[in-house]
Amino acid sequence: MSKTVAEHSVSYVQVLDENGKVTNKDLVPDLKDEQLRELMSRMVFTRILDQRAIKLTRQGRLGFYAPVAGQEASMIGSEFATTKEDFIVPGYRDLPQCVYHGYPLEKLFLYSRGHQEGGRVPEDVNVMMPQIIIGAQIVQTPGIALAFKLRGEKRVAVTYTGDGGTSQGDFYEGMNFAGAMQLPAVFFVQNNQYAISVPREKQTAAETLAQKAIAAGIRGVQVDGMDILGVYTVMHEAVERARNGEGPTMIEAVTFRYGPHTMSGDDPTRYRTKETESTWEKRDPLIRFRTYLEEKGLWSQEEEEKVIEQAKDTITEALKKADSAAKMKLTDLIDVMFEEPTIELKRQRAEITGEGAN
């Protein structure tokens, strides 16, 4: 005997197509004109920040950096649907969401340099330091969400990872716990097509990444990750469901990174073609949203130039602050380990400084 014990489906959401035209009027989010301009401004800022960060890395003025161009809609649109009381648990590529959730840009520059001040997040900023370990943030997120639930707080924990992160054990463990406990959490996966250099279709046999939510018993949805209105729409719904006690959601945003995986030696020309890159560049999130806004009379070339100049000034100022930070000493790492250092740490400190040496 055989019988079907369960059937599931994954929905796909798109609001703006590649030409900036609305594909589904019912899904257009209820945002004011100023909010729409703000979304565009933040995407432009992110593109400029990315260009500058790449140059700074090549000059040796930044350390670790993972380019974000192409992913602006998924990053900005998702963070815009949260409140500052919600908690962001980012991966190493998610610096734009950190910036707009209140993480000072100069500290993110220091984080890139490996300076410990870069990980000292201001107490009133609800962001965890960007996680380097692939997928580890997915386990941290249900813990934060559980605290919100136990305290009766109407707050949501939001985490980010890439398509490669969904192949990690931590990914399943975190989502399973969140589903079992019906926690206020959102798992946002940016499927940028490559886990470093491995194409998505070679790292998993799953037809979509969103369907991995089904195994955890939580809601999964796929969205056009180059469409900022689509991203905002699905994220807003997921956040509100979580806030209202309706459980977690996993979102797969289908997007693309134009640059290398990181600036630490990856060469994308070795694993993808010019044709592939050209196809995705035609779906550029800034171009399609710019077209949409211009047709509504909400955006102009002059306004964009103004945002670009402001972005350059903001980045330069943050860089100056980062450059003025005191240089780290090896002993600093020991001094911040515990309130009262252990005997072993005291011994190591003395060995480094020469104190107590015969």
> Mind telling me the catalytic residues?
257, 261, 271
Place of tokens 């009262």: 340
Q: Alpha-carbon distance 117 to 134, whole Å?
A: 22
Pairing relation of β-strands 194-195 and 219-224?
Answer: unpaired
DSSP string spanning 61-96?
A: S--S----TT-HHHHHHHHHTS-TTSEEE-BTT-HH
Amino acid at position 162, single letter: G
Backbone conformation region of residue 114, classed left if phi is above 0, alpha if psi is from -120 to 50, else beta: left
CA-nearest of 135, 141, 149, 221 to 181 is 149
DSSP string spanning 218-256?
A: SEEEEEETT-HHHHHHHHHHHHHHHHTTS--EEEEEE--
> Where do the H-state alpha helices sit in the chain?
33-58, 72-80, 95-100, 105-113, 136-151, 169-181, 200-203, 212-215, 228-243, 274-281, 285-295, 301-323, 330-335, 343-353
Token reading at 100: 């707009």
296: how many CB neighbours lie within 10 A of its CB? 10
Token reading at 107: 């500290």
